[in-house]
Amino acid sequence: MPDKKQKFYLTTPIYYTNGLPHIGHTYTTVVADVIRRYKRMRGYDVVMTTGTDEHGVNVERAAKRAGIPESEFVAKMADAWRALWDELGIPADEFVRTTDLTHVRTVQWLFKLCRENGYVYKGHYTGQYCIYDNAFVNDAKPGDNCPDCGRPLETVTEENYFFKLSSFQKPLLDFYKKNPDFIQPDTRRNEIISFVEGGLKDLSITRTTIRWGIPVPGEEPHVFYVWFDALTAYLSAVGGPEYEKRGYWPADLHLVGKDIIRFHTVYWPAFLMAAMLPVPKQVWAHGWFLMDAAKMSKSKGNVVLPRPIVNMLGMDALRYFLLRDVVFGQDGNFSYDALVTRYNSDLANGLGNLASRTAALIEKNFAGKIPKPDALKPQDEVLAKEAQNAIGEVLENFDKLSFARALETIWTVIAAADKYLTSEQPWALGNSEAEQARKATVLWTTAELLRIVTALLFPVLPDSATKVWTLLGQSDALSKFELDGLRWSQLTPGTSLGKSQTLFPRVDKTEAIERIEAMANEELNPTPGAPAPAASASAVGASAAAAAAPAVSDKIGIEDFAKVEMRVGQIKTAERIVGADKLLKLTVDIGTEIRQICAGIAQYYEPESLIGRKVAVVVNLAPRKLRGVESNGMIVAASVGPEGRPVLTGFHEEVEVGARLK
């Protein structure tokens, strides 16, 4: 336990506001929240920062498309990001926006320090620039595509202020050597060291081709390069120029995805060194969640959204899956199948079942009071030892951010308790004094194990662990429990069990996946006029407040309608999809090409009856995957009755395939 609340400052990236969060962003923010809760339970005074990266040409363009000023656009997006984190129970302690005044001042101050110290000069730069990643691509030729996102590069020539990054090759290499834990995991450190050893070119840190940025004082039209701006947000969030007053800088941990490690481990420490400011202690780059072996992105149509999963299975289920299924640091494939399988096996059958079984037995045999253990048998001691050893192991793994290992250990203990109950069979024991005493020992042992597991699980499963804690009659707030004091044999006999609450009801896998996908489709392609999606009272009990999504007017202009391209299509083939009761896979002739489209009409239309039928098709929807099958468009149908029975649109006169609906 640190003396007198040692401070711990951790951050997630400051996310771009030209889109809304998907499971990748949620992953980083969940991990940050787990670490925050864990560190607090270890006695630290923790601040966690997240926020929004609001400048740059992408935002300029997105605001233009939306027909509103940039400031209004980013305010709505920042609200939506903040609201989603609140809704998911992972709010920041400091939510920093790069349009905040303190941030603007901090960026200008950092620049001034770098300039005063001789690390900034004026020059010209012509290069190939990716407007999506906001980065010049070294060694690219005109006409090349961006090596990161694959989109076309643009040739840009500008008068810029340059940062003397080249002066920092040696200081950075020395710094990495002296601080071997600065870049984690090790593979990433080696990558960065070779990159820096290869030589560093000076970096242009202002732009004149962009309007929407933080102005360089007295040097208009120069605005700061988005990465000089964005990285500084970590410092602005905890006081900016007055950082010493709050005492959280330097950051203990920057959590980032591997896509942005170079910015964090090369540019950022170099800017800080140039300004003679303290450098963060660690940058941890995790891997990517992939969908069909590709990084998720909205433009590829393969994003997974957090809210539908939370509505169906609860936030704890999502948190558990993200941390348990992928080794932190490595890439992992996201699959709904794996998510629901883990939910049913580990949460419903594992933890949930152990808790309800134990509580029911105590209720029935000891009138709902924790019994007093009697003489111990070797098997009781073996289990006690296993739980006691797990404490150290789990804490050690949490410290190393080896979340999957920590959870594996906890589930080994849960499985051991299950086995113990099954072999001791307390329910089969009678009412003689000896048998009652044995029952008491077995149930106390199981309940004590559950208490330990629950305390260890709080950082990952805050809602469910709190429910089990209450069930075990523990009145102190679990969030404030000090993990350093956790030991076997602290469960007081005589404690009355608390309220029993639903933990993880089992779900039917196919149905759960279909519901999640249906909610995700609605969120990605909302029905016009429908209310913005929010975490409603969920199918199985998750709860959260509604998101403050940007307000939508109930009337749209003709230009909005014109964005939807609908054409007459003719269905060529139709077949059922194995494992998806509601979906049909269709191929549809839309005049210019044959498209594959999935439609949720399988319960109402026989595939054969559809062949040759002419239907209305939305042809300019981004492609998406439904149950792993690509769908490239949408068939229009009326939704009839309370169950929403789909009725396909049709035409009473002859229409040409491909004709546009206006």
**Binding residues for ligand ME8 (CB under 6 A):** 13-16, 24-25, 27-28, 53, 230-231, 233, 256-257, 259-260, 288-289, 295-296
State the Cα–Cα distance between residues 74 and 229, nearest whole angstrom: 15
Instruction: Provide, rounded to whole angstroms, the least separation between the CB of residue 239 and ligand ME8.
Output: 17
Give ∠ CA 19-25-28 in degrees, rounded to 5: 160
Reduce the DSSP state of residue 301 to 3 states and report it: coil
Burial class (CB in 10 A: 0-12, 13-18, 19+), 428: exposed
CA angle 344, 287, 77 (to 5 degrees): 85
> Cβ 268 to ligand ME8, closest distance in Å?
8
7 contact partners, CB below 8 Å, separation of at least 6: 44, 45, 46, 47, 247, 248
Three-state DSSP at 596 gives strand
User: Count of CB atoms within 10 A of residue 617's CB?
Assistant: 31
Give 23 or 547: the residue with its C-beta nearer to ligand ME8. Answer: 23
Q: Output the smallest distance, CB 634 to ligand ME8, in A.
A: 25
SS3 (DSSP) at 367: coil
Q: Please, what is the minimum distance in Å from the beta carbon of residue 130 to ligand ME8?
A: 12
Is the CB of 297 or the CB of 356 nearer to ligand ME8? 297
Please say whether the beta carbons of 621 and 636 come within 8 A.
Answer: no
Residues 83, 532 contacting (CB under 8 angstroms): no
Smallest gap from Cβ 52 to ligand ME8, in A, equals 8
Report the C-alpha gap between 418 and 354 in whole angstroms.
Answer: 7
Which residue in this structure is represented by tokens 């090349």? 144
Minimum distance, C-beta of residue 502 to ligand ME8, in the bound complex (Å): 31
| Closer by beta carbon to ligand ME8, 76 or else 585 | 76
Q: State the Cα–Cα distance between residues 451 and 448, nearest whole angstrom.
A: 5
Sheet holding 289-291, edge to edge: 294-295, 289-291, 332-333
Amino acid making up residue 151: R
Q: How far is the CB of 323 from ligand ME8 (least distance, A)?
A: 13
**Cα separation, 641 vs 644, whole angstroms:** 5
Q: What minimum distance in Å lies between the beta carbon of 447 and ligand ME8?
A: 38
246 token code pair: 């709050």
Measured CA to CA, the distance from residue 178 to residue 336 in angstroms comes to 43
For residues 295 and 625, which CB has a smaller minimum distance to ligand ME8 in the complex? 295
DSSP state of 540: T
- HEC profile for 553-573? CCCCCHHHHHCCCEEEEEEEE
User: Tokens 């949930």, residue?
Assistant: 352
- Smallest separation, CB 306 to ligand ME8 (Å): 12
Nearest residue to ligand ME8, by Cβ distance, number only: 24
CA torsion 329→521→348→394, rounded to 10°? 20
Give the nearest distance from C-beta 464 to ligand ME8 in angstroms.
Answer: 24
Dihedrals φ, ψ of 144, to 5°? Answer: -70, 160
User: Which residue lies nearer to ligand ME8 by CB, 289 or 420?
Assistant: 289
- In the complex with ligand ME8, the residue whose CB is nearer, 90 or 260, is 260
Structure-block tokens of residue 236: 């602005």
User: Please, are residues 484 and 1 in contact by the beta-carbon 8 Å criterion?
Assistant: yes
Of 133 and 514, which CB lies nearer to ligand ME8 in the complex structure?
Answer: 133
Minimal distance, residue 31 CB to ligand ME8, in Å: 9
Of residues 119 and 288, the one with the C-beta less far from ligand ME8? 288
Cβ proximity to ligand ME8, 293 vs 530, nearer residue: 293
DSSP 8-state symbol, 19 = S
Q: How far is the CB of 231 from ligand ME8 (least distance, A)?
A: 5
Residue 30 or residue 407: which is nearer to ligand ME8 going by CB?
30
Report in angstroms the alpha-carbon separations of 644 from 190, 577, 600, 640.
56, 21, 11, 5
Q: Which is nearer to ligand ME8, 15 or 95 (CB)?
A: 15
Half-sphere exposure of residue 136, counting CA atoms within 13 Å on the CB side?
19
One-letter amino acid of 295: K
Q: What b/e sequence results for 340-361 when a residue is b if at least 16 CB atoms lie within 10 Å of its CB, and e otherwise? A: bebbbebbbebbbbbbbbbbeb
Minimal distance in Å, beta carbon 166 to ligand ME8? Answer: 22
For the bound state, the minimum distance from the C-beta of residue 620 to ligand ME8, rounded and expressed in Å, comes to 25
- Residue 346 DSSP label: I
Scan for tokens 């992953």, then name that residue. 27
Closest to ligand ME8 by CB, 308 or 426: 308
Nearer to ligand ME8, 130 or 483 (CB): 130
**Which residue number, 235 or 410, has a Cβ lying nearer to ligand ME8?**
235
Residues with Cβ within 8 Å of residue 242, at least 6 apart in sequence:
none
Q: Which is nearer to ligand ME8, 230 or 309 (CB)?
A: 230
Between helices 23-41 and 315-325, what is the axis angle to 10°? 90
For the CB of residue 480, give the shortest distance to ligand ME8 in the complex, in Å. Answer: 29
